[in-house]
Amino acid sequence: MEIGHVRLVQREFKENGKGIVETSVALAGERPRYWPRLGFVVSVLLGLCAGLLAWQPGAAAAAPNTVYFPETGHTVADPFLTYWRTHGALPIFGYPITQPIDDQGMTVQYFERARFELHKEFSGSSSEVELTLLGRQLVGDRHDGPFKPFPANTLAVNTSDRTFFPQTGHYLAYGFKQFWEQNGGLAVFGYPLSEDMSENGLTVQYFQRARFEWHPELRGTPYEVELGRLGADAAANSGVKTSPVGKPANVPDYAPALFTQSIRLPILMYHQIGPTASRYVVPVWLLNQQLDWLQSNGYTPVTLTQLYNYIDGTGALPAKAVVLTFDDGTAGQWAAVQALAAHHMTGVFFIPSGTKALTDGQLRQMVADGMEIESHSITHPYLTKLSGGALENEVAGSRAALQKITGQPVDFFAYPYGDFNGRVIAAVQAAGYRGGLAAWGGAEITPGKRWQEPRIEVDGTDSMTEFAYKVITFP
Ligand SMILES: [Zn+2]
């Protein structure tokens, strides 16, 4: 395993075009410098054990099976939710405009562009959710003009641009054909019920479950073909209730990232910056080397706000993002602020608001220099050992104090000593934070771990090779 690990590190270095591997190999006879030190391995293992102990059942949430859409004030639950997500989501179906309702013994739900039907008899199969034939209902018995079918035995030559459907006697061609094929085809839209035709100045075509509209002015964009609002029309015609409902407790707002896989993004954790290297003290010259390395290898430090915007589906991240965090707000960290600012990089500083090792003026200057000031409690206690009132004070009080100093939102909380449990997480949630940071656990960031996202400790005695390993490879 360790041989494989070393190979992996070497490959990474070659890809980055750096000569670090040669330097390492020249130290033959000693313990190779790229070999993770025993102490490092032990501390990681201890960290993982502690992480497992602190793990709360259910806290590592899987993707939700019910979400709320604040845009229209409705919830969508599985299996409709999974169907909606996996068959085109917002662009194809639009927002939900009703709750699930009973229609003669069948559960249905209206969306802007479709009506979902739950077929319990097909539970677990791909036919469990089907879409109502709203296009068919709209076309009715019309067989005139563009609705007139060609005979089923029409001798048609199908090409990549044009397909004849004997099932309904209509052609599908060009841009509509491409859209139909790329966005779900028969299952989502059904067969064509007309030729393409002009209606209200638009080129449209009717399908069993949809009406395509061509917008030539938007050619080349995702909006070139739009779908008619057949679900909204049908809801209006049948008089179903579309008024919004309140957001239920414990149901998240819909965001695509709730369903994304985890990403690998190292959140590096520093403690003191000082003259003598030790596990918790990184010399400033070493920090500068590490920042140089990040810069020359294309890494971009981002804030936790940026990371959580990504997690919440409201923001993007650069290709090689990393978060640099500094715990405890010690006086020596002012040198880290200078180093970061000189590199035009941002860092996240977790400040115990009661320590005052960095002055209020320094904290404000850090904000002005692009740093993010976040909370690390007031007095840095073991939070799991505190009573409810004391816990609440440490969590909410530090947030209020830091916000008052900086005039900026304080949205993230790092648990002192990495000590947390479900009760601590609940207090952090209640205080209005957006997320919580653990003190170990690696580089795998997932939306479900938003109250205990893992970090990787930077040890002051790390070699540059070990630092690079933590950034590039550490799982
Ligand atoms: Zn701390």
Give pLDDT, residue 31: 32
Write down the H helix ranges in 327-372.
Answer: 333-342, 360-368
pLDDT bin (cut points 50, 70, 90) of residue 62 is low
Quote the ligand 1 centre to 459 CA distance (angstroms). 14
Ligand 1 centroid – CA 327 distance (Å): 5
pLDDT at 16: 31
Q: CA 470, CA 300: separation in Å to the nearest integer?
A: 15
C-alpha pair distances (Å), 474 with each of 414, 426, 442: 21, 30, 7
Q: How far is the CA of 109 from the centre of ligand 1 (A)?
A: 49
User: Which pLDDT score is estimated for 27?
Assistant: 28
Of the given ranges (39-43, 88-92, 290-294, 465-469), which has the lowest mean pLDDT? 39-43
Vertex 256 angle, CA 254 and 262, to 5°: 120
Q: Cα dist. 412→121, 168, 426 in Å?
A: 47, 58, 14
Alpha helices in 94-195 (DSSP H): 134-139, 174-182, 185-189
285 Cα: distance to centroid of ligand 1 (angstroms): 22
The pLDDT > 90 percentage for the chain reads 71
Q: Can you give the pLDDT at residue 53? A: 32
Distance of CA 380 from the midpoint of ligand 1 (Å): 6
Report residue 217's pLDDT band, with 50, 70 and 90 as the boundaries.
confident
Q: How confident is the model at residue 468 (pLDDT cuts 50, 70, 90)?
A: very high
Distance (angstroms) between ligand 1 centre and the Cα of 76 equals: 41
Kindly give the distance from the C-alpha atom of residue 265 to the centroid of ligand 1, in angstroms, as a whole number: 21
- Residue identified by tokens 């590096």 is 268
Q: Is the pLDDT of residue 210 over 80?
A: yes
Whole-number Å distance, alpha carbon 350 to ligand 1 midpoint, is: 8
Q: How far, in Å, from the CA of 294 to the mean position of ligand 1?
A: 24
Give the distance (Å) from ligand 1 centre to CA of residue 373.
Answer: 14
Q: How far is the CA of 419 from the centre of ligand 1 (A)?
A: 10
CA distance 367 to 341: 11
Residue 60 clears pLDDT 60, i.e. is over it: no
Which parts of 242-333 are beta strand (E)?
A: 263-264, 267-270, 272-273, 281-282, 300-301, 321-327
C-alpha 398 – ligand 1 centre gap (Å): 14
What is the percent of the chain with per-residue pLDDT over 70, rounded to a whole number?
Answer: 86
Q: How many CB atoms lie within 10 A of CB 119?
A: 14
**Residue 463 CA to ligand 1 centre (angstroms):** 23
Q: pLDDT tens digits for 408-446? A: 999 999 999 999 999 999 999 999 999 999 999 999 998
Q: Give the least confident one: 52-56, 184-188, 391-395, 413-417.
A: 52-56
Indicate if the pLDDT at residue 17 is higher than 70: no
Question: What mean pLDDT is reported for the chain?
Answer: 86
Separation of CA 368 and ligand 1 centre (Å)? 24
- If you measure from the C-alpha of residue 357 to the centroid of ligand 1, how many angstroms do you get, rounded to a whole number? 13
Task: Give the mean model confidence (pLDDT) for residues 35-59.
Answer: 39
Tens digits of per-residue pLDDT, 102-139? 999 999 999 999 999 999 998 878 789 999 999 999 99
Tokens representing 11 are: 């490959």
The region that residue 272 occupies, defined by phi over 0 for left and psi between -120 and 50 for alpha, beta otherwise, is beta
- Between 63 and 233, whose confidence is greater? 233
Rounded to the nearest angstrom, the distance between the alpha carbon of 352 and the centre of ligand 1 is 8
Domain ranges for the chain, please list them. Answer: 36-62+255-472, 66-238
- Interval 158-208: pLDDT, tens: 888 999 999 999 999 999 998 998 888 998 999 999 999 999 889 999 999
Band (pLDDT 50/70/90 cuts) for residue 61 is very low
Distance between Cα 376 and ligand 1 center (Å): 7
State in Å: Cα 379 to ligand 1 middle.
10
Q: How far is the CA of 258 from the centre of ligand 1 (A)?
A: 29
Distance 119 CA to ligand 1 centre (A): 54
* Position 23 pLDDT exceeds 60: no
pLDDT of res. 261: 66
> Does the pLDDT value for residue 68 go beyond 90?
yes
- The CA 276 to ligand 1 mean position distance, Å, reads 19
Q: Is pLDDT larger for residue 359 or for residue 5?
A: 359
Cα 143 to Cα 435: distance, rounded to the nearest angstrom: 59
Query: From the CA of 353, how far away is ligand 1's center (Å)?
Result: 12
* Distance of CA 354 from the midpoint of ligand 1 (Å): 13
pLDDT at 353 over 80: yes
**What tokens appear for 176 in the block?**
């509509």
pLDDT at residue 106, as a whole number: 96
Q: Which of 157-161, 253-257, 385-389 has the highest mean pLDDT?
A: 385-389
Rounded distance from Cα 381 to ligand 1 centre (Å): 9
* Cα 279 to middle of ligand 1, angstroms: 13
Q: In this structure, how many other beta carbons lie within 10 angstroms of the beta carbon of residue 389? A: 8
With a cut of 70, say whether residue 347 has pLDDT above it.
yes
Residues with CB under 5 A from ligand 1 (ion): 327-328, 416
Distance 359 CA to ligand 1 centre (A): 18
* Residue 314: band (very low, low, confident or very high) from pLDDT cuts 50, 70, 90: confident
Give the three-class secondary structure for 320: coil
* Cα(305) to centroid(ligand 1), Å: 20
CATH top-level class of 36-62+255-472: alpha beta
pLDDT beyond 70 at 8: no
- 58 confidence band (pLDDT: 50, 70, 90): very low
Instruction: Answer whether residue 344 shows pLDDT above 50.
Output: yes
Q: Separation of 299 CA from ligand 1 center, angstroms? A: 25
pLDDT recorded at residue 262: 79
How far apart are the CA of 457 and the centre of ligand 1, in A?
12
